[in-house]
Amino acid sequence: MNNRICKILNIEKPIIQGPMSWVTNAEFVAAVSNAGGLGFLGPNAGQIEITRSPEISAERMRTEIQKTKSLTNKPFGVPVIVNRDLAYTWPILETIIDEKVPVVLVNDILDERIFKPLKENDIKIVYRPLTPTIENAKAAEEFGIDVYVATGFDEGGTVPERVIGTFSIVPMIVDAINTPVMAAGGIGDVRGVRAAFALGAEGVFAGSVFIPTKENPAAENVKQMIVDATAEDLLMFRTLPAYYRSLPTKFANKLVEMDKQGVSREEIAKMMRGSIGMRIGMLEGNTDDGYISIGTGITPIKEIRTVKEVVDTLMQDFN
């Protein structure tokens, strides 16, 4: 099958594993790429401690990139978090260019200062705004992105600000731009993949389905919780910028209660402490003090599998 995303990203199967912050590392990402998809190191890949230093973050990422290269000769990617003053962005960007990482993921901010060096170094740009819109899709196409990820409200963790489901957002974006579009949010088995392609997507961008795998660094009790849960179990509460979705944990239930009592989004976001609550919940498996970011596509996940089994099952039409 002639697939534009496979051609652009130089991969065998049109699937990207989302860069899920703390729950990625070199072994896991290499397994995705070796299975024919595109693995992505998360911003805290392979780490257990947080750092506020852009330079230390960049050096840690360099180590994880080099580890990944030692485990696969296939393409993989690294996210570039673009903030307004680029203080955190430049050290990572320089590391990516230096290490010749072939693909980056850019979230939200379209910035010519970032795009220019990426293009000059022939690094492919996957653009995934938090909230997909016709306007930002057209703007991103003007900037020269290579792949656009259309994320529906079905996703886990921080969800889009507009309540539009994956299978409504995908055709809307597909009809607005000529750039190939990937579907993200709520895809848990091959039926979701086929539905996404029927709506015009040319690939899928998946996170939750890759967490309960043997290679993923998430805690074993978290993997089992995902296997045992369905979409009916998921909690949602207000926070910045809009809403957050989690499996039930003591801490997540507390955040839901705060929301019901009318506590502000800002206060709830402060309680969540950025991605620290995710590290505590998902990496350490401490459900008393952390949360578990999961999307609505978890219902068909019935066992802990290898990454290869997940890729082969989801991408069976491309085998």
Residue ranges per structural domain of the chain: 4-216+300-318, 235-293
Structure tokens at 37: 């998809």
Structure tokens at 312: 């082969």
- pLDDT tens track for 158-204: 999 999 999 999 999 999 999 999 999 999 999 999 999 999 999 99
Distance CA 56, CA 130 (A): 26
How does residue 1 score in pLDDT terms, banded at 50, 70 and 90? low
Burial class (CB in 10 A: 0-12, 13-18, 19+), 55: exposed
Structure tokens at 138: 């057209």
Which helix or strand (DSSP H or E) is residue 147 part of? strand 147-151
Q: Domain 4-216+300-318 belongs to what topology? A: TIM Barrel (3.20.20)
User: Residue 243's beta-bridge partner residues?
Assistant: 159, 238
- pLDDT tens track for 118-135: 999 999 999 999 999 999
Query: CB under 8 Å to 160, separation ≥6 — which residues?
Result: 130, 131, 132, 151, 152, 153, 169, 242
Distance CA 189, CA 209 (A): 8
Distance CA 179, CA 139 (A): 11
Rounded to a whole number of angstroms, the CA Rg of the chain reads 18
DSSP code at position 316:
G
- pLDDT tens track for 207-225: 999 999 999 999 999 999 9
Distance CA 102, CA 314 (A): 24
Structure tokens at 190: 């091959």
Distance CA 93, CA 230 (A): 38
Residue 54: cis peptide before it, omega within 30 degrees of 0: no
Go through the chain and tell me how many residues it has.
Answer: 319
Distance CA 215, CA 306 (A): 7
Q: Give the position of tokens 């963790």.
A: 157
How does residue 46 score in pLDDT terms, banded at 50, 70 and 90? confident
The SS3 assignment for 294 reads: coil
Cα 298 to chain centroid, rounded:
15
User: Could you tell me where the beta strands, DSSP code E, fall in 197-291?
Assistant: 203-206, 235-238, 243-247
How does residue 49 score in pLDDT terms, banded at 50, 70 and 90? confident
- pLDDT tens track for 283-303: 999 999 999 999 999 999 999
